[in-house]
Structure 1
Amino acid sequence: MHRAQSPTTPALQAIDLQNLPFWRRAAPALLAVLLVALADLLSGKDRYLAPLMTVVPAVAALTLKPGELLAVCAVGLIAVFGLSHYDQVDNINDARFLYGAMVSYLVLTLFSAWVARVRMRRAAAFAAVSSVAEAAQRALLRLPGPAVGPLRLAVRYVSAADASRIGGDLYSVLETPHGTRVAVGDVRGKGLAAVQTAAVVLGAFREAAYDEAGLRGVAARIEASVERHVPDGEFTTALFAEFRAPGRMELLQYGHVAPIRVDREGRVHVLDAPDPWVPLGLGRLATGEPTTWGQPFGAEDVLVLCTDGVIEARHRRSGEFYPLAERVGPLVQGAARSAGELEAAVERVYADLLAHTGGELRDDALLLLITRTD
């Protein structure tokens, strides 16, 4: 009979190293047994180093389950007996010393088994939190498929929030009666407060995108919702895009990172807004109205959208920002040919970003590549 796996099981296995085979998790403790035994043997019979075997339970408690720990520590106990025979521990003083070492070893073994049990309980709790956060992220973002309307998508999303996969960057792609509409945003701050703001923005976008005939109307609805439901002083940078006729797109920018279009030859076109607008939540401070602008978007072009976490990622040594516009051209050139090429392209950009930072991002980061399927 097949037994259903708990949703937290994969996360628990990754967090507590239980996805590794037993021999790999036991290797540090077994290596400690071997090193102590070798040290005793090489030091000669006039030195008795077997009591150093007490390090084995402590090492085993880091990676093994309680039952596995007892089994590995039994190997260490056998090694202690073997070494005592080799070192000829036979007089009364040596025997007392051996007895004390054995008692210490057994006590440490039992204590380490308890520590391993506590470690696994905490890992299970951490895995549960991580799984709930991931489920909340998926429910919030409602991840689109690899194709929406005439668009093909590839995305990488990384949250910098501690103990969680949830963050304040947001995106949504919807097929509506007014064309295919895209929203990308970056909420000021991190953690649950940023998630709450992202929920407000995404909820408003999903409603307005179907109702409003133009992007300005969509953005105005979102701005009104943010003013009602988000605390004063909090804001969200955003970029909206609309795809109706083949070969063209319409853009609307609210203080967000400028989009990039890469053409079939790999040339990079940074699409700066002719009249940039303030972020969502700060509209009351501005005068006038935001304006949209049109851009070509051919069948072999790649549109690159991202958040500040990408372009403000610092070099691991020099501290320089990641030069996305300088590097992205050759990394995504030709990605419009197929879904597989597009997915490989976003992976190349993400890998290049991690190489720039040394493998770690300190801020939420969203990278979205879009091409046309028509």
Structure 2
Amino acid sequence: MADLLNRDTWSQWGQRPFLPRWSRRLTIGGYLLVAAAVAADFATGSGVTFSPVLAALPVLAGVGTRRAVVPLVAGVVASAVVVALALYDVNVPGVVMVTAAATVIVITFFTCANVVVVAAQERELARVRTVAEAAQRALLRLVPRRLGPLVIAVRYVAAEAEARIGGDLYEVMRTPYGVRLFLGDVCGKGLAAVETAADVLGVFREAARAEPDLAEVAKRLDSALARRPASEEFVTAVLVGIPDAPGPAVVVNCGHPPPLLCHAGEVSEVEPPVNAPPLALLGLVGGDYCARSLTFDCGDLLLLYTDGVAEARDATDRFYPLAQRLAALPHGEPEALLDELLVDVRAYVGSGLADDAALLAVRRER
């Protein structure tokens, strides 16, 4: 869940947030320029004043803070310095000093108002995030790290820093027919994609316990999505069934990128026996969903992923070579493997991911 939810920049609301290093340097530079202007004003005393520069002091104080009292105090200090300069250099016309003082007061007022508005907006954003996180936890439940001989790990990375809910979805559950895994990607964005994801997971959780045939589970998912009124979303998905007793696994691919199997240090794609359409489109193209038997021995690792990983691009617009990079990583604990894989993807892209990414790794042990 740590990768599912992004951490807030602030530790507590109302406190100064963490500013980037370059922003802190610019703020300190602004303070130094104001101090230099005041020092020059006192040093010259020749009828020339730099007092209007003091209007920048409350603005600098308001950078990063969410307490209106901070720029207010800075404005009071700036006004006091303007008065001191006026008394020190009597050669400066009074109208100039009055204008400088009025400028400081007006800028202080607007800076305080801006701090209050921004703090209120961020408190509202925090409440929205809380609701979104609760919805995310209800939609994508926590995956157990171990189910019988299987060690499981999952990662969900949102493309947008503020995102909490997306169109990638996954589920791992024990059924009378063994452990069944589901990973899918809704073709769509926003609340419509979230609604589709919720419907898919609800049907899968019911059908996976009732249907002994994994291909029939996929057909029920397709039928449920096709019956949704006025819906244009479809879902690419891959379903995996792993029996409790030693034996082959079963994979049903519904228009999704093929899973990767790590066996004896080699990585291979688990291609479907026939190409099948995404969920909700089977009725348009005909055909059926077919299951593929897969040898899944002790020590083997199976990786399910969405196109947010497979289609990540570098600066030259080349796709991330997932199979090649996966082969170079140690196929040990799934948790460590996914962490290393995500670090490698980010380094390859050089910036944030362009699409949401979900990864699900399962390893069979004795």
Interval of TM-score (by shorter of Structure 1 and Structure 2): 0.7 to 0.9
Query: What's the counterpart of residue 4 of structure 2?
Result: none
Distance 1:344 1:48 in 2: 63
2:360 to 334, 346, 368: 368
Question: C-alpha separation between the residues in 2 aligned to 1:307 and 1:237?
Answer: 9
- Over 3 Å counting, the alpha-carbon distance change for 1:170 and 1:77 in structure 2 is same
Contact 1:11 1:130 survives alignment (8 Å): no
Q: Say whether the 8 Å CA contact 1:154–1:346 is kept in structure 2.
A: yes
33-42 vs 358-367, which moves further? 33-42
- Offset from partner CA, 1:278-311 (integer Å, 9 cap, x none): 1100010233322111122222222111111111
SS at match of 1:335: coil
Q: Which ranges of 4 or more aligned residues in structure 1 deviate by more than 6 Å? A: 14-17, 24-27
How many Å apart are 1:227 and its aligned residue?
1.5
Mapped pair 1:330 → 2:328? yes
SS in 1 for 2:248: strand
1:261 equivalent to 2:258? Answer no
For 1:161 and 1:30, the matched residues in 2 are separated by 30
Aligned to 2:286: 287
Deviations 1:143-196 (A, max 9, x none): 212223432222221234685311111000001111000000011011111111
Aligned mate of 1:348, from 340, 354, 363: 340
Q: Secondary structure at the match of 2:202?
A: helix
Aligned to 1:13: 10
Letter paired with 1:33: Y
Deviation at 1:358, TM superposition (A): 2.0
- Asked if residue 125 in structure 1 is aligned to residue 117 in structure 2, the reply is no
- Determine the structure 2 residue equivalent to 1:252: 252
| Cα deviation, residue 203, structure 1 | 0.3
- Using a 3 Å threshold, how does the CA distance of structure 1 residues 104 and 232 change in structure 2: closer, same or farther? closer
Taking a change above 3 Å as real, the CA distance of residues 365 and 261 of structure 1, as seen in their structure-2 partners, is same
Residues 201 and 57 of structure 1: is their aligned pair in 2 closer, same or farther, counting only changes over 3 Å?
same
State, as a whole percentage, how many aligned pairs show the same letter: 36
Code of the residue aligned with 1:143 in structure 2: it is L
Taking the TM superposition and a 5 Å limit, the aligned residue runs for 1:105-254 are: 105-160=104-159, 163-229=162-228, 231-244=230-243, 245-246=245-246, 248-254=248-254
Map Cα deviations across residues 183-213 of structure 1 (whole Å, 9 max, x no partner): 0001101111111111111000000011111
Query: Hey, what's the Cα distance between the residues in 2 that align with 1:289 and 1:81?
Result: 84
TM-score w.r.t. the length of structure 1 is 0.85
> Deviation per CA, 1:28-60, whole angstroms, max 9, x where unpaired?
655422222124536861553232121232333
Give the 3 Å change call, closer, same or farther, for CA 16–362 of structure 1 in structure 2. farther
Q: What corresponds to 2:318 in structure 1?
A: 320
Counterpart residue identity of residue 91, structure 1: N
Please provide the CA RMSD for this pair. Answer: 2.8
Q: Say which SS state the counterpart of residue 241 (structure 2) adopts.
A: strand
1:51-82 per-position Cα deviation (integer Å, ceiling 9, x unaligned): 21212323333411212232344454555566
Aligned length: 353
**TM-score between both structures, scaled by the size of structure 2:** 0.86
The worse-fitting range, judged by mean Cα deviation, of 224-233 and 174-183 is 224-233
Q: Which residue of 2 aligns with 1:56?
A: 57
Rounded to whole Å, the distance in 2 between the matches of 1:352 and 1:281 is 34
Q: Is the 8 A contact 1:155 1:366 kept in 2?
A: yes
- Partners of 1:199 and 1:122 in 2: CA distance: 29
Q: Are the aligned partners of 2:49 and 2:92 in contact in 1 as well (CA < 8 Å)?
A: no
Q: Unaligned 5+ residue runs, structure 1? A: 1-9, 337-341
Greater mean alpha carbon deviation, residues 70-79 or residues 342-351: 70-79
1:229 Cα offset (Å)? 2.0
Find the aligned partners of 1:112 and 1:330 in 2 and give their Cα distance.
54
* Offset, 1:368: 1.6
Separation in 1, partners of 2:107, 2:136:
42
Helix, strand or coil for the counterpart of 1:209?
helix
Q: State yes or no: 1:89 paired with 2:89.
A: yes
Paired with 1:150 and 1:326, the residues of 2 have a C-alpha distance of 27
Runs of 5+ unmatched residues, structure 2? 1-6
Q: Which amino acid aligns with 2:353?
A: L
Structure 2 CA distance for aligned equivalents of residues 294 and 15 of structure 1:
52
Q: Distance in 2 between matches of 1:297 and 1:76?
A: 73
Specify the SS of the correspondent of 2:154.
Answer: strand
CA distance in 1, matches of 2:359, 2:12: 26
